[in-house]
Amino acid sequence: MHRWKGDRMRRRTLSLLVASLALAGCSNTLSGVSGPLRLSGSAGQGSGKLDHLAILLPLSGPDAARGQAMLKAAQLALDVPGSPRLEPIDTHGTPNGAAQAAQAAVAGGAYMILGPFSAAETGAAAGPARQAGIPVLAFTSSPAQAQPGIWVMGLTPDQQVERLVQAARAQGKTHIAALLPNTELGSAMGRALVQFAPDATVRHYSGGMEAMNATVRDLSGYASRRGPLEQKIREAKKNGDRKLAAELSRNSVPPPPFDALLLADVGTRLAEIGSLLPYYDINTPTVRIMGPALWSSERARAGSGDTLNGAWYAAPDQATRTDYVQRYQTKYGSAPLALQDLAYDAASIARVIASEGSVSADSLTRPAGFAGVDGVLVLHPDGKVSRGLALYEIESGSPKMIEPAPQTLNSTGS
In a structure prediction context, what are the per-residue pLDDT tens digits for the chain, which is 414 residues long? Answer: 333 334 444 444 445 454 444 444 433 333 344 689 988 765 555 555 788 999 999 999 999 999 999 999 999 999 999 899 999 999 999 999 999 999 999 999 999 999 999 999 999 999 999 999 999 999 999 999 999 999 999 999 999 999 999 999 999 999 999 999 999 999 999 999 999 999 999 999 998 899 999 999 999 998 888 766 666 667 667 778 777 656 656 666 789 999 999 999 999 999 999 999 998 999 888 999 999 999 999 999 988 888 899 999 999 999 999 999 999 999 999 999 999 999 999 999 999 999 888 888 788 999 999 999 999 999 999 999 999 999 999 998 899 999 999 999 864 444
250 assigned to some structural domain:
no
Report pLDDT for 245.
Answer: 57
Report yes or no: 68 and 59 within 8 Å, Cβ to Cβ: yes
- One-letter amino acid of 78: L
Residues 274 and 379 in one domain: no
Residues 187 and 307 in one domain: yes
Render the burial of 240-260: b for 16+ CB within 10 Å, e for the rest. Answer: eeeeebeebeeeebebbebbb
Please give the Cα distance from 272 to 377 (Å, whole number). 35
In the DSSP assignment, the letter for residue 372 is E
Please give the Cα distance from 358 to 321 (Å, whole number). 28
Angle at 396 between CA 160 and CA 252, to 5 degrees: 90
Report pLDDT for 35.
Answer: 85
Residues 304 and 165 in one domain: yes
Helices 184-196, 157-170: inter-axial angle, 10-degree rounding: 40
- One-letter amino acid of 65: A
Q: What is the CATH number of the domain that holds 99?
A: 3.40.50.2300
207 assigned to some structural domain:
yes
392 assigned to some structural domain:
no
Count Cβ atoms within 10 A of the Cβ of residue 111 and give its class: 0-12 exposed, 13-18 middle, 19 or more buried.
buried
Report pLDDT for 233.
Answer: 67
Range of the domain at 373: 52-154+318-383
Residues 293 and 328 in one domain: no
7 assigned to some structural domain:
no
Residues 294 and 190 in one domain: yes
237 assigned to some structural domain:
no
405 assigned to some structural domain:
no
How, if at all, do strands 398-403 and 390-395 pair? antiparallel
Residues 329 and 184 in one domain: no
Choose the final residue of a domain: 277, 294, 315.
Answer: 315
260 assigned to some structural domain:
yes
400 assigned to some structural domain:
no
Residues 143 and 189 in one domain: no
**Total domains, the chain:** 2
Residues 60 and 144 in one domain: yes
Report yes or no: 314 and 164 within 8 Å, Cβ to Cβ: yes
Residues 148 and 164 in one domain: no
Reported pTM: 0.86
Residues 75 and 131 in one domain: yes
Residues 264 and 215 in one domain: yes
Q: Work out whether the CA dihedral 139, 144, 145, 149 comes out positive or negative.
A: positive
Count Cβ atoms within 10 A of the Cβ of residue 341 and give its class: 0-12 exposed, 13-18 middle, 19 or more buried.
buried
Residues 105 and 195 in one domain: no
